Structure 1
Amino acid sequence: MAIDRTPNTRLRAVREARRQQSRSEFANDLQATAARLGERQVSVDARLVARWEDGDTRRPRAIYRRILVALTGMTEAELGIGPNPPSQPVTYPPPMPTVEPVDRRQFVSGTALAISGVAVPSTMRTKRTRVDPALIDYFERQLAGHYTADMMLGPRALIGTVTAQLNLITRLIDDAEAGVRHRLSAAGSAFAAFAGWLYLDAGDIALAAHWHGVATELAHRSGNAQAVACSLVDRAMAHTDAGAGGAAVDLCANVLGVERQLPPELRVFALQQQAHGASLLGNRPETDRLLDHAERIIRTVDVEQWGTACLRTPHYLQVQRATCYGRLGLHAEADQLWQHIIPSSAGPARRDVGVWSARRARAKAALGEPEAALDLAHVAVDAALGTGSIRTVRELASLKADMQAWHDHSIGRDLAALLTPLTLET
């Protein structure tokens, strides 16, 4: 019987057109990514890459698929390594420049290559060069722009850019003098925490955990206690997504143990995340206490710091309270809050409105209002398809279960048809 050796033209196009690398360079980057992920039993060389591209190996093993996704910021389907690898070639555009022009005279050798994700040969990095402190402001502006874009575009549009810039930051850190190195490490920690958020929203818990680990390490390298505290709260957020209320509560309690030393925006960030943990544990009094405390503090916040959303997101604490109430089964209270939040948040917060609409739909279903739930589901599905937010998809999967009582009703059939384009997860 003939062996099917259909070439993987997608993977080859990513390597050649998008990353502009030889097989050896690509293999070196994959090996380095494996090390960052803590995968020690992995060996990648040019011959293995050739086997994947030439079709000798139809689909890499799971560990290699995870590494390929982590390095490129692309999905298995986009790389042609999914369950049904495509046979048709795909043309990728060359790497795009960063969204803001930079004076490259101050960049260290290899910066332009590193921005696009192309491996910088070791011979180009042997001589340490001065890293201009102005780069820190540049990266902070870039990150602020990414936060805004994320609300409109969702995670998959940004993962590649954010992780490429983060890789550049980590290279610059090793070249910088102590003062700049510490400030750049704090900026890198914020980038890594954001990468963790993107992977959470894209549904990849393992890679989110990896980037949260990088965020914590860089925060400690910065020597900045506030950066360390923020990285712990970001990690608590990941535990909340996983339903681990105790872990979220414990991490935030550790941060709030030095509350008086923290700026108000970071205290709000920690308090609301601890409230999520309390709601997962079914503790409404503690949930309300923490959110009420945060409400008193948020009035003193007048600048954004460490990427917290308390000023970027309209009705920030009301969103947290509505989410916690839905989790606690307080559907009428949650619905009343969502009724105020969602209509006033339309516009750039497309992904967020999708998540919130799905959560309000669940409250409506619990309150016996299936027609209203279906209307809200339309908004959520549109956002999920437009942004690729797995967080929204999971809320819709739960809504499908909540609407089981109307399964044989026309509303149930309409909901099933509406959800057909999505791969629902729980």
Structure 2
Amino acid sequence: MSRNDALRAARLRVGWRTAEQAATRLTEHGQRLLMDRHFTVSARTWRRWEGGCPGWPPEETALVIHDALGRWPEDLGFTTPPGWLRPERQEGEQVTRCAFVSVTAAALVPGPVSPQYVDPALIGYFEQQLEGHYRADMFLGPHDLIGTVSAQYQLIDKLLRSAQGETRRGLLRAGAAYAALVGWLYQDAGDLNGAAFWRGVTQEIALRSREPHLVGYALVNQAQVRTDLGDGHAVLDLCEAALENSSRMVPKVRVMALQQQAHGASLTGDRTAVDRLIDQANALLPQVDDDLPWGNACRRTPAYLEVQRATCYGRLGLGHEAVSLWDQILTSVPDTARRDRGVYLARHATAAANAGEPEQAWEIARPAVQIAAETRSARMRGELSTLQRAMRPWQDAPVGQDLLETLADVTEGN
């Protein structure tokens, strides 16, 4: 029995007895509705829609399906992509966007606040909450956490107006970590403007703390945004600035700066620098023994530095070398790190395509598409868009058609 019974039932309800007949009728309906004689839906595509992985149709096809069957694809068993809104909900989307912007405004508490006693125990409270947010991010993705974490940053900012001495310094440290996490959540959600804003907040509060390792951490956060923007020289500038005071920073921050600098080197095409910087970071990794609650991906993520090397190799177009590394890395990624695994699979698939192995790329990419749909991670959708470009040499071959149809479910709009 077809796994997408909702679409099959809708087809039979309007009298389309077979997939071939449904494809013909939908094509005819779409050509009339859109006044476009080039609009077509094949029987092969319809059969895929009634299968276990129906994906999501292009936007105009979604409109045709709704007009023909009286229901939107999301109600017909299709995998709803991130960001999809029915046309009648566009007004609601504007309201949501306003709320999203207001969360960013929450970083700034206007005007004076009434003095209050700030208990030093609050520092431990915020640090414990922060660790929980890091764990939740692995499962939930950015959209469900942005409001919660930014609201807690706002509370820290309010308390800083009254805190003094060591309590104030502890809250500054916590505030920098919270601002950095909100910046990351915005970055993962695909809002680089919001990410840049919060990275700036992180930089400000780190400077106020006067702690060199926090300032370095904030500079690395800025470099991450520049990496996503493809600005390799800016990444190198920021990481070099962070490393100027490396003797005063904990090893963890130096590891972070070196690996991010390697990303900058990959963006400028310098493979030698990539290997040198990753190797330097690797030599420092055994020295990471601080109890700071932030920036612990290098300890928490299996094969952390090899992930960075493989990513850089993929960016440099070193397909075979990257594939070999991803083969090793993915064996150590736990099931709990589902979103990270999806990103790695997408990068692995792109490396396979660059190595001239489109069938392997297709097999690797399948679970990544599902994870992208579930987590709504813009970062992962961006990785899949990169894969889509890498598969262009095979776009007319069956494997290319299969992959591109599936990728359209989550990459539309990227």
1:147 is aligned to 2:134? yes
Equivalences, count: 322
Q: TM (normalized to structure 2)?
A: 0.73
What corresponds to 2:181 in structure 1?
Answer: 194
> 1:67, 1:307 → 2: CA distance?
31
Q: TM (normalized to structure 1)?
A: 0.71
Identity of aligned residues (%): 48
After superposition, give the CA deviation of every residue in 1:290-322 in whole Å (9 maximum; x if it has no partner). 111111000111345332310011110000000
List gaps (5 residues or longer) in structure 2. Answer: 1-89
Aligned partner of 2:284 among 297, 300, 316: 297
After superposition, give the CA deviation of every residue in 1:179-230 in whole Å (9 maximum; x if it has no partner). 3122201111111111111111100010001101111111111122211111
AA at the equivalent of 2:165: A
Q: Call closer, same or farther: CA 1:291–1:425 in 2, change over 3 Å.
A: farther
Give the Å deviation of 1:169: 1.1
What corresponds to 1:105 in structure 2?
Answer: none
> 1:377, 1:360 → 2: CA distance?
8
1:71 is aligned to 2:102? yes
> 1:170, 1:348 → 2: CA distance?
33
> 1:219, 1:120 → 2: CA distance?
18
After superposition, give the CA deviation of every residue in 1:100-146 in whole Å (9 maximum; x if it has no partner). xxxxxxxxxxxxxxxxx8x9998xx8531111111111111111111
Aligned partner of 2:114 among 115, 124, 127: 127
1:271 is aligned to 2:302? no
What corresponds to 1:322 in structure 2?
Answer: 310
Give the Å deviation of 1:255: 1.2
Preserved contact between residue 109 and residue 157 of structure 2 (Cα < 8 Å): no
> 2:326, 2:102 → 1: CA distance?
38
1:314 match: secondary structure: coil
> 1:251, 1:224 → 2: CA distance?
17
> 1:298, 1:371 → 2: CA distance?
37
What corresponds to 1:95 in structure 2?
Answer: none
> 1:339, 1:238 → 2: CA distance?
27
What corresponds to 2:144 in structure 1?
Answer: 157
What corresponds to 2:353 in structure 1?
Answer: 365
AA at the equivalent of 2:312: C
> 1:178, 1:379 → 2: CA distance?
51
AA at the equivalent of 1:71: S
After superposition, give the CA deviation of every residue in 1:380-404 in whole Å (9 maximum; x if it has no partner). 1111111111111011111111111
> 2:165, 2:98 → 1: CA distance?
32
Preserved contact between residue 157 and residue 175 of structure 2 (Cα < 8 Å): yes
Equivalent residues in 2 for 1:252-291, closer than 5 Å: 252-291=239-278
After superposition, give the CA deviation of every residue in 1:215-273 in whole Å (9 maximum; x if it has no partner). 11111111222111111111111111111111111111111112111111111011001
> 2:236, 2:243 → 1: CA distance?
10
Give the Å deviation of 1:72: 4.3
Equivalent residues in 2 for 1:6-405, closer than 5 Å: 67-72=98-103, 126-303=113-290, 305=292, 306-405=294-393
> 1:236, 1:219 → 2: CA distance?
15
Preserved contact between residue 240 and residue 277 of structure 1 (Cα < 8 Å): yes
> 2:179, 2:389 → 1: CA distance?
34
> 1:243, 1:369 → 2: CA distance?
26
After superposition, give the CA deviation of every residue in 1:58-103 in whole Å (9 maximum; x if it has no partner). 96999x9865312248xxxxxxxxxxxxxxxxxxxxxxxxxxxxxx
Give the Å deviation of 1:175: 1.9
Preserved contact between residue 269 and residue 308 of structure 1 (Cα < 8 Å): no
> 1:169, 1:259 → 2: CA distance?
28
CA RMSD after TM alignment: 2.4
> 2:135, 2:129 → 1: CA distance?
10
Structure with more of its chain in helix, by fraction: 2
Preserved contact between residue 155 and residue 198 of structure 1 (Cα < 8 Å): yes
Preserved contact between residue 252 and residue 295 of structure 2 (Cα < 8 Å): no
> 1:362, 1:313 → 2: CA distance?
21
Preserved contact between residue 256 and residue 267 of structure 1 (Cα < 8 Å): yes
If asked which structure has higher relative contact order (CA below 8 Å, sep 6+), I would say: 2
